[in-house]
Structure 1
């Protein structure tokens, strides 16, 4: 069986774009390194807006997984916790609903600007890597289903 390329969609928040722009560049570079194909990059105003676009991309046959990139920086209130927690919860729900990975390359909550800068490459690369690994593992599970008549797994 010939291996199909992994097709990714990237959603990146424009809020804290000094950070997320660099995350986007690292994610694109790492995807190319891993042999994944970036089919679309969508910019949204903020991290909280990622789930809406994620739902739209999950409906597309040309997307195997989504990489969500954002930076939720700690302010004087707990707004960062609300944004990060609600976004993460909805992304997990969408991933399970559609059966396609959405990986969390979102820095925060509770991160300072300096901490976010230190995590740019790590979060971007890990999110892309997780997307590629999950698509490959889902494909293997699907292949096992096709072979189930011939194979019994105890």
Structure 2
């Protein structure tokens, strides 16, 4: 019988790694809980580099969906807003281009370091949950199911 588990890739930013490495740990743990297989972890220098890594993973046949993890902390300028908004738009565009789910597990913009620490669990697990659910529902739809409201 063919393995039907969801195979995912995770792209994680190394910038603010005191936050993102904890996000990665929780994301991997939650993927296992959901019976999804993490096929690749792609570490990038910062959140700005996430879209290129997402594109690389989406081009692989053994990846059903991609989870993005990062923390864009507010500084004295609007740089955090520019980065977070552009990355969100680009990963959404890539999801549509490759017809595979990409979830947004990026804390910010506007978050302080303390707020980001408080959101580690929520953002990482929700990102995995979203990607896996969408991949399962899309698979079900492609297999001809008349309903895609699958838990």
- Which interval holds the TM-score relative to the shorter structure? over 0.9
Separation of aligned partners in 1, 2:128 and 2:40? 14
Gaps of 5+ in 1: 148-154
What is the aligned partner in structure 2 of residue 36 from structure 1? 36
Q: Which residue of 2 aligns with 1:142?
A: 142
Q: Deviations over 1:46-86 (max 9, x none)?
A: 00100001111111000000000000000000000000000
For the pair 1:129 / 2:116, whether they are aligned, the reply is no
TM-aligned CA deviation for residue 141 of structure 1: 1.1
Deviation of the 1:2 alpha carbon? 6.3
Where do 1:64-83 residues align within 5 Å? 64-83=64-83
Alignment length (residue pairs): 146
Shift in Å, 1:143:
1.5
1:96-138: CA deviations, max 9, x gaps?
0000011000000000000000000000000000011000110
2: distance between equivalents of 1:57 and 1:118? 29
| TM-score under structure 2 length normalisation | 0.93
Q: Secondary structure at the match of 2:70?
A: strand
Match of 1:13 in 2: 13
**Counterpart-to-counterpart distance in 1, 2:127 and 2:90:** 17
- Paired with 2:66 and 2:139, the residues of 1 have a C-alpha distance of 16
SS state at 1:144 partner: coil
Tell me which residue corresponds to 2:63. Answer: 63
Distance in 2 of aligned mates of 1:137 and 1:46: 31
The SS at the match of 2:20 is: helix
TM-score, normalization by structure 1: 0.92
Alignment root-mean-square deviation, CA: 1.4
